[in-house]
Amino acid sequence: MVGAVLLAAAITLAPPSDDAVVFANRTAFAEECTGTVNTQPDRLARQARTALSALGWEVGGAVGPTFTRRSMLASAAAAVLYVHSHGDLYWDSKSRSRAGGFRTDAERCLGAPIVLPSEISAMRRGEPAASLVYISSCHNGERASRLPAAFGIAQRKVQGGSEPKSFYVGYVGIAWQGAAIRFERAFWRGLLDGASAGAAFDRALLVAYEPKYLAPEWWGGYGHLPHAPAAELPNLEGRRYV
């Protein structure tokens, strides 16, 4: 009964489908947990929020302790979603298999609640495929992760013809934050320059990061433009937002 009440509350809190949300786990990377000062979760979240706002989206979400399992699932129906956290191929008892997922912040170094694909699928039931999903974590760019499908995005690359109006980005294996910052900055800049999601991804592959520290992967429509439906592409006039 308690689970049903919480699920109903989360559904009530879900934003309109045109919203974008940005979540970042700060605590698990903080000095009190790792022994090293680390501001990279905030930088990654800021890059994503700034770019998505410039692309016409109303951006919500949470960075730090308010990034809880409940807050994330309440936003699972958003059209655009960015998450930076620890990720892995976690065991999902519902599917009885390892299915991907990521840790919430919840102000815990270890043992924070995990968000699984099956939970996201349940919250998105009846919703169209997400426009853009960027999971900035380890392992959720692998085929074994079911996160793309949870957001309605098939694990296939489509270029030309009738492309899906969606795009998913994740990382294969271990993803290091320093390399992710450089790659993601280039990806967002590509979108702000008017490139399609696929072209922005290809452009980001050219930045100076060490491939052994990052292996990006994508699925969806190469030519998809993930800007808000009511927005025009931004006119940068030589300026850089991120």
Residue 209 forms part of a structural domain: yes
pLDDT, tens digit, 9 for 90 and up, residues 112-171: 999 999 999 999 999 999 999 999 999 999 999 999 999 999 999 999 888 999 999 999
Q: What is the dihedral of CA 5, 145, 129, 23, to 10 degrees?
A: 60
Q: Give the three-state DSSP class for 152.
A: coil
Identify whether 105 is part of a domain.
Answer: yes
The answer as to whether 235 is a domain residue is no
Q: What sign does the CA torsion over 125, 127, 128, 130 have?
A: negative
Looking at residue 93, what is its pLDDT? 87
Q: What is the CATH number of the domain that holds 121?
A: 3.40.50
Please check whether residue 3 lies inside any domain of the structure: no
Helix, strand or coil, per DSSP, at residue 97: strand
In a domain, 229, yes or no: no
Q: What one-character DSSP code corresponds to residue 232?
A: P
pLDDT, position 18: 56
pLDDT digits (tens, 9 = 90+) for 142-156: 999 999 999 999 999
In a domain, residue 140? The reply is yes
pLDDT at 10: 39
Query: Considering the domain boundaries, does residue 231 fall inside one?
Result: no
CB contact set of 214 (below 8 Å; sequence gap of 6+): 171, 175, 176, 179, 180, 183
* Residue 153 maps to a domain: yes
| Structural domain count, the chain | 1
The whole-model pTM stands at: 0.89
Residue numbers of the domain that contains 66: 9-221
